[in-house]
Amino acid sequence: MKFIVAAIFAIALASVVHAASINVIVNDVSPQPVEPGSDLTIRITFVNGDGDFASSVQAYMDLREPFTLKTSTENFDSGFSLCGFCSRTNTYFINVDTDAKSGVYPIFIRTGGAGSQVRTINVTVRGKPNIILQSMSINATPSDVFFMNIQAVNIGTGVAKQIKVVSKAADFVALGSSVITVNSVLPQNKSTISFIMTPSDSLKAGAYNLPFEINYIDESGAHYNSTQTIGVQVLNKGELNIENIKVSSSTGVPTAGSPVSIIVRLENVGTGDADSIQSEIECDGKEATTFLGQLKRDEDAPAVFELTLPSGGKRQCTLTTIFADDSGTHMVINSFDITIRDAEFPVGIVILILIIGGVYYYFRIRKKKV
């Protein structure tokens, strides 16, 4: 009985001794550096450096964040055996967490049971930046200044540094600098940049893609370059001015109490068409409305109003014009004065009054004599 116990103890001791003599050789770690969200492959060879047989050798990979074991070519969970000076190779496939920050992380290879041997593999995780440009809907009108707010978004896994955004749009002039720089943008973060721009006054209404060149480096100093576009909608804008005002009458001189024609010539000095033009005039409490329809760029047309004003003198008029263009509906209000002559007493009426007065006087004197 004592012999059997001693034999078992000797075998166990030999197993431990041989397990402690297992050498760990790291054949390959790829890729290096590895990007967050990617897979890492590590190939390990376990060598029995002793001439004796080793049984129940424990070997496992101790992974911490940001690593997770996906699978391996050998399953050593229940241990393995190695003959003297023999070796076995295992390939481990490891996933790197997508949220991993750039840095150096350890992976531990433990063999021979708890505390026997530990081999440390340092793995470099380094993300790659990826800057894209985003913007809300942007409207612009020729010759007008507008702010072009752009977000530089880092959708990559590494820090983008020394970011330079350059405007390359030929028909959109950047007022001030055409180059804007940003120190750095962390992964899944963004930075807002703003260009002050004006479109050429020769541009027609429509959608335009403005090119921008983006340059930046990552944490290792590697350079990145791309060209991206931001869409801008050019809206042609109508603008109505009063070119001149005329007041006339069929009697020759505009006179209170008689119909007068007020002719307001409107001109479109904007960059686009003015549509659905409607004008209303109000003078001395009297109102009139007219419709012009459309005025193209640089066109003009008369708005004619017929009014009968009750009194003469300098009268103030208010002209309200409503029109539509690419950017919506607009209202323009202009005020001006016109002069109306006071009404004259007609000569015929004066003569008639004198005749009636004379007849009345004649019969009144005659009645007194009778």
Name the CATH topology of 2-125. Answer: Immunoglobulin-like (2.60.40)
Res 14 pLDDT > 60: no
DSSP 3-state of 235: coil
What is the spatial distance between Cα 17 and Cα 116, in angstroms, rounded to a whole number?
10
Task: Taking residues 152-175, report their average pLDDT.
Answer: 93
Confidence of residue 55 (pLDDT cuts 50, 70, 90): confident
Q: Which CATH architecture describes the domain 131-234?
A: Sandwich (2.60)
| Domain spans, the chain | 2-125, 131-234, 240-340
Tell me what pLDDT residue 368 has: 58
Most confident of 39-43, 232-236, 249-253, 344-348: 39-43
What is the spatial distance between Cα 368 and Cα 370, in angstroms, rounded to a whole number?
6
Task: Taking residues 223-248, report their average pLDDT.
Answer: 93
Instruction: Determine phi and psi for 128, rounding to 5 degrees.
Output: -110, 125
Is there a common fold for 2-125 and 240-340?
yes
How do residues 132-146 score in pLDDT, each as one tens digit?
999 988 989 888 899
Confidence of residue 367 (pLDDT cuts 50, 70, 90): low
**What is the percent of the chain where pLDDT is above 70?**
86
What is the spatial distance between Cα 244 and Cα 246, in angstroms, rounded to a whole number?
7
Res 19 pLDDT > 70: no
Under the phi-then-psi rule, with left for phi > 0, alpha for psi from -120 to 50, and beta for the rest, what region is 15? alpha
SS3 content of the chain, % helix, strand, coil (to 5): 10, 55, 30
Task: Taking residues 176-196, report their average pLDDT.
Answer: 94
DSSP 3-state of 159: coil
How do residues 74-98 score in pLDDT, each as one tens digit?
988 788 888 989 999 999 999 999 8
First to last CA, the chain: 185
Confidence of residue 363 (pLDDT cuts 50, 70, 90): low
Confidence of residue 297 (pLDDT cuts 50, 70, 90): confident
Tell the CATH superfamily of the 240-340 domain: Immunoglobulins (2.60.40.10)
Res 23 pLDDT > 70: yes
The pTM assigned to this predicted structure is 0.64
Number of Cα atoms under 13 Å in the Cβ half of residue 301: 16
Per-residue b or e along 344-364, where b marks 16 or more CB atoms closer than 10 Å to that residue's CB? eeeeeeeeeeeeeeeeeeeee
Res 356 pLDDT > 60: yes
DSSP 3-state of 3: helix
* Pairing, β 39-48 against β 87-96: antiparallel
Task: Taking residues 216-234, report their average pLDDT.
Answer: 93
Tell me what pLDDT residue 11 has: 42
More confident residue, 7 or 309: 309
Task: Taking residues 201-211, report their average pLDDT.
Answer: 88
**What is the percent of the chain where pLDDT is above 90?**
55
AA identity, residue 45 = T
Res 12 pLDDT > 60: no
